[in-house]
């Protein structure tokens, strides 16, 4: 849910290089020094000025949503779902953590995931919409680059985490009740690949399929599908009027909600919010 303001950040490369100490006025650090800077914990690193972007507040919102998801998963390991997943008093369950408002921060993981999808739709759309409004020819290379990089950015951490996970089973001889490790490491690699090759298929329903090696990663294929939907829509509607684009996106969003594809509905809601934000910023600047 791995993240998503990269389109916004590309405009700040020069400022970021200065913050990292790579400005032209200073000597270029050696590769070993660069690695040390990356690996050095933040609490022992010297404070660096941070340039706020117009969407910096979304980082905080995603942090809160991520924490709520973490708490929800932790609680699910320690409590029966019927006791905490429903409202206070449902089926004669009266746990304090199911009280209104309180339950949002304890079992609100499902809602937080929807928030992630809306944010993704917003940040993926904002820069292309800005270019569309400016009638800039940069829109097409930006979208082409974004489509190419999106899958790599999403699935590279996915591969690193899951491969490290099953490698640890065999290196340290861990015995799990579930999932059951394969007899050999090579067999584990084959089993992982067979599942992964199906899991990354963008034409299947990711919500109904779980990845054995890490269940919560079901959101990654959703992110990829939603990203492609956003990019294709922005390209298809780049030459129409803003009113026609909003009407088309609203109609498609309602259609997705009608057929049960709530995750695509969330992405399109993010796109519409980004359109409103870009339009409002442009109007306010006049």
Coil, strand or helix at 73: helix
Using CA atoms, how far apart are residues 116 and 155, in angstroms rounded to an integer?
17
Res 31 pLDDT > 80:
no
Which residues, 6 or more positions from 208, have their beta carbon under 8 angstroms from its beta carbon?
none
Using CA atoms, how far apart are residues 65 and 1, in angstroms rounded to an integer?
11
Closest CA to 269 of 90, 59, 115, 75: 115
Q: What is the pLDDT of residues 67-94, one digit of tens each?
A: 999 988 888 777 776 677 788 888 888 8
Using CA atoms, how far apart are residues 47 and 145, in angstroms rounded to an integer?
33
| Position 176 confidence tier, pLDDT thresholds 50, 70, 90 | confident
Using CA atoms, how far apart are residues 108 and 142, in angstroms rounded to an integer?
35
* Positive or negative: CA dihedral 76, 82, 83, 86: positive
275 or 173, greater pLDDT: 275
Res 159 pLDDT > 60:
yes
Cβ atoms of 61 and 99 closer than 8 Å:
no
One DSSP character per residue, 74-140 reads HHHHHS-HHHHSS-TTGGG---GGGSTTHHHHHHTHHHHHHHHHHHHHHHHHHHHHHHHHTT-TTHH
Whole-number pLDDT of residue 48: 67
> pTM value?
0.78
| Position 23 confidence tier, pLDDT thresholds 50, 70, 90 | very low
Cis peptide, bond prior to residue 42, ω within 30 of zero: no
The pLDDT > 90 percentage for the chain reads 47
Average pLDDT, the chain: 83
Whole-number pLDDT of residue 24: 43
Whole-number pLDDT of residue 37: 72
Tokens of 150: 């999106």
Whole-number pLDDT of residue 282: 67
286 or 136, greater pLDDT: 136
Whole-number pLDDT of residue 152: 92
């Amino acid at each position: 849910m791995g993240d998503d303001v990269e389109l916004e950040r590309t405009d700040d490369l020069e400022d970021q290089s200065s913050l990292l100490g790579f400005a032209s006025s200073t000597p270029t650090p050696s590769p070993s020094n660069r690695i040390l800077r990356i690996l050095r914990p933040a609490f022992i690193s010297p404070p660096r000025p941070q340039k706020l972007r117009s969407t910096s507040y979304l980082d905080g919102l995603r942090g809160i949503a991520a924490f709520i998801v973490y708490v929800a998963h932790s609680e699910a390991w320690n409590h029966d779902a019927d006791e905490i997943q429903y409202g206070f008093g449902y089926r004669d369950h009266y746990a304090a953590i199911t009280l209104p408002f309180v339950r949002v921060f304890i079992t609100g993981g499902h809602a937080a995931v929807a928030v992630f999808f809306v944010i993704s739709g917003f940040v993926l759309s904002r820069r292309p919409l800005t270019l569309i409004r400016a009638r800039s020819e940069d829109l097409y290379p930006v979208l082409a680059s974004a489509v190419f990089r999106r899958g790599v950015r999403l699935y590279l951490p996915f591969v690193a985490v899951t491969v490290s996970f099953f490698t640890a089973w065999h290196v340290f001889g861990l015995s799990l009740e579930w999932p059951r490790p394969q007899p050999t490491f090579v067999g584990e690699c084959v089993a992982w690949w067979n599942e992964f090759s199906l899991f990354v298929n963008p034409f299947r329903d990711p919500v109904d399929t779980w990845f054995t090696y890490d269940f919560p990663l079901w959101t990654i294929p959703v992110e990829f599908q939603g990203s492609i939907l956003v990019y294709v829509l922005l390209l298809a509607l780049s030459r129409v009027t803003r009113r026609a684009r909003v009407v088309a996106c609203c109609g498609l969003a309602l259609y997705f909600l009608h057929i049960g594809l709530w995750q695509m509905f969330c992405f399109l809601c993010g796109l519409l919010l980004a359109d409103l934000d870009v339009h409002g910023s442009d109007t306010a600047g006049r």
